[in-house]
């Protein structure tokens, strides 16, 4: 638990992760046909016990978030019954929910496909929200930016979930095709800006509950750095997130609302474009300097120039085998 | 109203349509930026009045279904506020809902895009269901088979809505790309079979509410016959629907459930495949003969051979201009 | 022809369009099942004659571009034979190509669907390129940014066509879903920047043929302003295009190539990001001032403030009926 | 090589696979940024040598097919240069092609994404065909049914490649979302029927070259049986392929062509539907009996009833660890 504590502290310093407990290690043969939705009650029991154990750990460690993603689903038409599986998911989660201590939030992540290729049990925000509604107010939806069918308007889903008080958190990453898990903002930075726009607007709302919900949103990076070095990739990720947020904060929301009310389509859109076109790197350097960051102007360049990567790579070569990146 | 009565009677004979009132004629300039969600309260008022008038007509004519599709949405980021528009939709629909007579059901259709190309206000089944929940038990979701992003598992959505008692009805058609409005079952007949499988299973359920909900589902054809002759296209549509339904009825659901419970993936799937592979045309000919259909074996061939199409085409040429098909 | 000449001159002034002849007016009943690919040779003959007439007009007016988009395709499996249609397209275009004067380029646009919903005859860049190869060196591919399936990497297609000397021109617009015809750069400005990156790189190439091909690319706006005012929309479009181009010009391509060769994934990517993050509005204002633009700092704001739109709207109200926008 | 010979013989008996040599084992760290398209010439050299070795093995074993799929691509904009990578691919493949013995065909598989998530070097049929054209007549395109963006009309691509004499072979499988590698025909059996329709039509063509090309097409199953037992899955696959082929053979192609020429949209489509609706299981049982299959009526049921699976599972449990399925 020492390591975990250190990890939590580190995460808190980065301001990115929130010490979430994630029990998704349902990898053994028993879970081949599902965990929460498995047709065999014995397997569901086993999975439930694992979940209850996680809730207990969360209580013991003071974790505030129980972040859940289930690989449950089917690969072939007829393999199992959609409605029965839905009922099993609801029943198991209800038992877990009842065991949760007061301060813990359950976050239900959705995903349209993979590893299940015909039907995933929590396949979109709608089914996650429906499940949360049945559980209670401590259950919220987790939005992984890569878990949507092509064409999905993610910022609109964010707005809807905020409005319902059910946006729990994010898994940040980016994709061009499926769940590609690329660096956040690397493929479609404007979408990331628009998502932050919804969050900023909610945080500045006159509705107190909306403000509270928006400021409690948990942000996590969930990426796979298959070919790039991990530390530069994380720095790039943080830079991209900061830029999108800073630009979203620059939008003149009073003027925006006036133009929206007046039906001035191009005028309203141009307010977003103007904020987005602004170069926020000087501002962010200023903020980083104020936070005591040693290389506020160019964290990525400074890291590269430091030679740290080559240093640890050399050290590791003598020890354990190095993976890609 | 005589024509309308005749249409209703005809529709009832076909067993396809249900005399729905559809007030979606919001085409004039006022509605350019929306109807229910328009930023201007005066426009929303105008649209609401039109809706209330429809409710009144529904009451007067004994219509059981108020089928609603809204073109509301935005074309550009920033054009309007997602959350405000959501609130306007909920408020207007609540007023309409309160005016509804007891036997009338409101059906809320969703559509991901077109004519709005950035964000549609009722963009998927999840937001339609959420809206229905706020309105009350007489509000249900309408599923147009072409109104989904690529990859959507429509039969699973059907199963979820049935399970929630919120599946109101269908607009049948088929698509390969977007909302193509082709003949139902013409592009992916297996998907249509799987959708009927969910309906048949629900109708045979031991849960009485589920049975009742499934048997109250309203079926409508909503297609565009741009290049093909309309009457043969409608016959083809009915044949495709009948085939999918007949095959879904052939599935041995007791054996299916046993194999599902046993985790027999290929065995369970094969029960569906075997039903689907069955040639149901002789059975359907038998049913049609029992119903007194004049050409039960081959309705399409008989119609073509009758020369009726050429006859009315010739008659029309002398009168009004004939359109495509 | 006076009007056309004026249009051409105007287009030249805008630096946007190139006086293209576009014969795609195959709207009458004869073309219901196709024009170039119609099963009936008489219809193909009629369409061919129309095309030959366009070639003649192009010669007479000195137009350099024959821009072709065909609605040809099928709506249902079996409706027509893919290979036969392909042969018809090749034969008709060969006849048209042979009639072309030396300085004229034929541009073949592709589109995956709409108005055909099962199979479009020129459905992607690959089939357009294949057809161009058979015709000869004056035939090139036209890329409409909205004519791709979801997930398509458009900038890679641009790079391939440039490399083959077959990129004829662009129809600029943007989309989130299908062929939405929104303002260029309004949904995914980073993609537009990456496309311009390929063009800028080719224009700076050491291969002379590549440079020549890239500088001959024809740029056209092809958008539908359904809800927004047309003149502000066009100003917004030009601003978006200029911003994307200016940012693409800022990329340090020598350093980029070095990092690419060194396998520095994050470093290479960050060069693009840094150029993209730069605020190019001051630079563009400077360029516009040098070009004598009356309001170089804020063309859109200046136009809105001018009251011109209200003025012509008032004038038109007394005359012809005003459309949306 | 004895095992390989046995495998080849077995494959020939199944009539499915063709003893292809597949050198795609570029998994070590060197290939992290590509094999054929890697920026480092030393890595390209290493990969080329591996390919040349495969060509040599193909010559020695009499293999007729060199089946190539490359994981090459990039994950981030700017990571590498699209045109340079294209040039590298063409150069390396030209060297490999020149080394090929006369009877060997090179098959170039394409894939839109995965494992590369920004741009794959051979991303669609168009770029594979273009590459084949540059190599020579022994180079052909391989179509993996799961390697297409959503909405792609695969049967039309098959028709185009057949018409060009460039369809080398298939990797059969099925998908609902991305490259799901499910059992062929399990998600969209009608698409499989339409693909076989193109093959059957080409085999029956009056053009001799077309007939020859179609009959030389190589068929391979390329599936992942993650949750289902492998042997039943393979039997299911063969049953699905046989059914689709048998139905395609039932289409009255003379009548079809007549209706196509006459512009009879519904009539032509209905000929396909009627063939597809036919139950071909009795016919296939007859064919299997003629081929000496021990359980011609129900191969899957007979295999299940045989208890063979349980038998080998028990045997393996005592020996090596059993995987899923």
Say if the Cβ atoms of D126 and C123 lie within 8 Å: no
Q: Which chains touch C (3 or more CB pairs under 8 A)?
A: A, B, D
Q: How confident is the model at residue C21 (pLDDT cuts 50, 70, 90)?
A: low
DSSP tag of C177:
S
Residue A100 clears pLDDT 70, i.e. is over it = yes
Pick from C81, C130, C198: CB nearest D260: C81
Query: How far does the CA of residue B143 sit from the closest CA of chain C (Å)?
Result: 19
Query: How far does the CA of residue B158 sit from the closest CA of chain D (Å)?
Result: 17
Closest chain C CA to residue B233: C76
Q: What is the pLDDT of residue D312?
A: 86
A21: its two tokens: 């407990």
The region of weakest confidence among A123-132, C131-140, D61-70 is D61-70
- Contact call for residues B159 and A121 (beta carbons, < 8 A): no
Residue among A83, A85, A247 with most chain B CBs within 10 A, to mutate? A83
Residues of D in Cβ contact (< 8 Å) with C256:
78
> What residues are paired with D68 via a beta bridge?
D108
Closest chain D CA to residue A74: D227
Residues of A in Cβ contact (< 8 Å) with B263:
33, 39-40
Q: Which residue is listed with tokens 């095709």?
A: A177
Query: How far does the CA of residue D142 sit from the closest CA of chain C (Å)?
Result: 15
Class of CATH domain D2-318: alpha beta
Instruction: List, for residues A44-80, the tens digit of each pLDDT value.
Output: 999 999 999 999 999 998 999 999 999 999 999 999 9
Distance CA A121, CA A110 (A): 8
What's the whole-model pTM score? 0.93
In 3-state terms, chain C is what percent helix, strand and coil (to 5)? 55, 10, 35
DSSP-assigned states of every residue in C198-236: HHHHHHT-S-HHHHHHHHT-EEEE----SSS-HHHHHHH
Distance CA C88, CA C86 (A): 5
Average pLDDT over residues A312-317: 82
Residue A312 clears pLDDT 90, i.e. is over it = no
A61 contact partners, CB below 8 Å, separation of at least 6? A1, A4, A5, A8, A19, A21
Residues of B in Cβ contact (< 8 Å) with C115:
226
Q: Which residue is listed with tokens 């050429």?
A: B310
Q: Which chains touch A (3 or more CB pairs under 8 A)?
A: B, C, D
Which residue from B150, D156, B302 is spatially nearest to C150, judged by alpha carbons? Answer: B150
Q: Which residue is listed with tokens 């993996």?
A: D144
- Contact call for residues A89 and A68 (beta carbons, < 8 A): no
> What residues are paired with C219 via a beta bridge?
C170
C276 contact partners, CB below 8 Å, separation of at least 6? A189, C190, C193, C247
Residue A106 clears pLDDT 50, i.e. is over it = yes
Q: What is the pLDDT of residue C255?
A: 98
Residues of D in Cβ contact (< 8 Å) with A178:
113-114, 177-178
Say if the Cβ atoms of C113 and B150 lie within 8 Å: no
DSSP-assigned states of every residue in B199-216: HHHHHT-S-HHHHHHHHT
Residues of A in Cβ contact (< 8 Å) with C279:
277-279
Pick from D150, D186, D189: CB nearest B151: D150
DSSP-assigned states of every residue in D210-256: HHHHHHT-EEEE----SSS-HHHHHHHHHHHHHHHHHHHHHS-HHHH
Closest chain D CA to residue B230: D266
Residue among A116, A179, A227, A232 with most chain D CBs within 10 A, to mutate? A227
Say if the Cβ atoms of B187 and D186 lie within 8 Å: no
User: In this structure, how many other beta carbons lie within 10 angstroms of the beta carbon of residue C145?
Assistant: 23
Alpha carbon separation from C69 to A171, A190, C24, C34, C64 (Å, rounded): 42, 31, 7, 12, 16
Residues of A in Cβ contact (< 8 Å) with D176:
113, 117-118
Q: How confident is the model at residue C156 (pLDDT cuts 50, 70, 90)?
A: very high
User: In this structure, how many other beta carbons lie within 10 angstroms of the beta carbon of residue D105?
Assistant: 22
DSSP tag of B321:
P
Q: How confident is the model at residue C1 (pLDDT cuts 50, 70, 90)?
A: very low
Query: How far does the CA of residue A275 sit from the closest CA of chain D (Å)?
Result: 23
Q: Which chains touch D (3 or more CB pairs under 8 A)?
A: A, B, C
Query: How far does the CA of residue A303 sit from the closest CA of chain D (Å)?
Result: 19
Residue among B151, B183, B247, B265 with most chain D CBs within 10 A, to mutate? B265
Instruction: List, for residues B160-183, the tens digit of each pLDDT value.
Output: 999 999 999 999 999 999 999 999
Q: How confident is the model at residue D18 (pLDDT cuts 50, 70, 90)?
A: very low
- Contact call for residues D198 and D155 (beta carbons, < 8 A): yes
Q: Which residues of A184-221 are buried (b: 16+ CB within 10 A; e: fewer)?
A: bbbbbbbbbbbbbbbbbbbbebeeeebeebbeebbbbb
Query: How far does the CA of residue C190 sit from the closest CA of chain A (Å)?
Result: 6
Cite the beta strand spans of C137-282 per DSSP E.
Answer: 139-144, 167-172, 218-221
Q: What is the pLDDT of residue D313?
A: 81
Residue among D229, D231, D265 with most chain B CBs within 10 A, to mutate? D265
> What residues are paired with C167 via a beta bridge?
C141
Q: Where are the domains of chain C?
A: 2-251
Q: Between C8 and D146, name the one with better pLDDT.
A: D146
B73: its two tokens: 């949405």
Cite the beta strand spans of D40-151 per DSSP E.
Answer: 65-68, 73-74, 105-109, 119-120, 139-144
Q: What is the pLDDT of residue B325?
A: 40
Average pLDDT over residues D240-266: 98
Q: Which chains touch B (3 or more CB pairs under 8 A)?
A: A, C, D
Whether the upstream peptide bond of residue D115 has omega within 30° of 0, thus cis, is: yes
Size of interface A-B (CB pairs under 8 A): 146
Q: How confident is the model at residue D324 (pLDDT cuts 50, 70, 90)?
A: very low
Q: How confident is the model at residue D27 (pLDDT cuts 50, 70, 90)?
A: low
Residues in chain B where the model's pLDDT stays below 70: 1-27, 318-325
Query: How far does the CA of residue B201 sit from the closest CA of chain D (Å)?
Result: 20
Q: What is the pLDDT of residue D319?
A: 61
Pick from C129, C155, C268: CB nearest D79: C268
Instruction: Tell me the helices (H) and strands (E) count for chain C, helix number first.
Output: 13, 7
- Residues of A in CB contact (< 8 Å) with C are 150-151, 153, 176-177, 186-191, 227-229, 232-233, 236, 239-240, 243, 265-267, 269-270, 273, 276-281, 300, 304
Closest chain A CA to residue B265: A79
Residues of A in Cβ contact (< 8 Å) with D228:
75-76
Distance CA C218, CA B48 (A): 48
Q: How confident is the model at residue C310 (pLDDT cuts 50, 70, 90)?
A: confident
Say if the Cβ atoms of B233 and D266 lie within 8 Å: yes
Q: What is the CA radius of gyration of chain C?
A: 21
Say if the Cβ atoms of D187 and A118 lie within 8 Å: yes
> Mapping DSSP to helix (H, G, I), strand (E, B) and coil, where does residue C182 land?
strand
Which residue from B223, B239, B325 is spatially nearest to B288, judged by alpha carbons? Answer: B239
Distance CA C130, CA D164 (A): 10
Whether the upstream peptide bond of residue C311 has omega within 30° of 0, thus cis, is: no
Query: How far does the CA of residue D277 sit from the closest CA of chain B (Å)?
Result: 6
Closest chain D CA to residue A322: D29
Q: How confident is the model at residue A314 (pLDDT cuts 50, 70, 90)?
A: confident
> Mapping DSSP to helix (H, G, I), strand (E, B) and coil, where does residue D293 land?
coil
Distance CA A137, CA A122 (A): 19
> What residues are paired with B219 via a beta bridge?
B170
Residue D292 clears pLDDT 80, i.e. is over it = yes
In what helix (H) or strand (E) does residue B143 lie, and over which residues does it extend? strand B139-144
Query: How far does the CA of residue C204 sit from the closest CA of chain D (Å)?
Result: 13
Q: What is the pLDDT of residue A28?
A: 74
Q: How confident is the model at residue D157 (pLDDT cuts 50, 70, 90)?
A: very high
Instruction: List, for residues C194-218, the tens digit of each pLDDT value.
Output: 999 999 999 999 999 999 999 999 9
Distance CA B227, CA C79 (A): 10
Q: What is the pLDDT of residue D4?
A: 41
Q: What is the pLDDT of residue B16?
A: 30
Class of CATH domain C2-251: alpha beta
Closest chain C CA to residue B226: C32
Instruction: List, for residues C120-139, the tens digit of each pLDDT value.
Output: 999 999 999 999 999 999 99
Which residue from C114, C98, C70, C76 is spatially nearest to C224, judged by alpha carbons? Answer: C114
Q: What is the pLDDT of residue B21?
A: 52
Say if the Cβ atoms of A227 and D33 lie within 8 Å: yes
Q: In what order do the strands lie in the sheet with C139-144?
A: C65-68, C105-109, C139-144, C167-172, C218-221
C96-105, C311-320, D25-34: range with highest mean pLDDT: C96-105
Say if the Cβ atoms of C324 and B32 lie within 8 Å: yes
> What residues are paired with A187 via a beta bridge?
none
Q: What is the pLDDT of residue A315?
A: 85
Average pLDDT, chain C: 90
Average pLDDT over residues A149-168: 98
Closest chain D CA to residue B305: D267
């Amino acid at each position: 638990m020492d390591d975990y504590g250190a990890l939590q502290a580190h995460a808190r310093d980065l301001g990115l992760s929130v010490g979430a407990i994630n029990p998704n290690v349902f990898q053994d043969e028993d879970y081949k046909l599902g965990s929460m939705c498995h047709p065999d009650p014995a397997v569901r029991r086993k999975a439930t016990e694992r979940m209850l154990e996680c809730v207990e750990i969360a209580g013991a460690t003071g974790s505030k978030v129980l972040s859940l993603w289930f690989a449950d689903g089917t690969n072939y038409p007829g393999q199992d019954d959609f409605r029965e599986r839905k009922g099993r998911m609801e029943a198991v989660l209800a038992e877990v929910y009842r065991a949760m201590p007061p301060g813990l939030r359950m976050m239900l992540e959705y995903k349209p496909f993979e590893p299940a290729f015909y039907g995933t049990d929590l396949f979109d925000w709608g089914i996650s929200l429906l499940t949360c509604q049945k559980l209670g107010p401590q259950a919220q939806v987790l939005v992984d930016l890569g878990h949507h069918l092509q064409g999905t308007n993610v910022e609109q889903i964010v707005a809807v979930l905020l409005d319902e008080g059910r946006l729990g958190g994010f898994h940040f990453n980016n994709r061009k095709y499926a769940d590609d898990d690329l660096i956040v903002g690397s493929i479609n930075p404007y979408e990331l800006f628009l998502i932050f726009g919804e969050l900023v607007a909610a945080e500045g709302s006159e509705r107190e509950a909306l403000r509270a919900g928006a400021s409690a949103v948990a942000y996590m990076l969930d990426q796979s750095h298959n070919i790039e070095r991990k530390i530069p990739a994380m720095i790039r990720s943080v830079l991209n997130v900061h830029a999108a947020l800073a630009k979203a904060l620059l939008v003149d929301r009073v003027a925006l609302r006036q133009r929206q009310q007046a039906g001035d389509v191009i005028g309203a859109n141009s307010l977003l474009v103007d904020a987005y076109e602004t170069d926020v790197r000087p501002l962010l350097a200023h903020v980083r300097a104020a936070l005591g960051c040693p290389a506020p102007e160019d964290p990525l360049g400074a890291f590269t120039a430091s030679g740290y990567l080559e240093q640890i790579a050399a050290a590791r070569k003598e020890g354990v085998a190095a993976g890609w990146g």
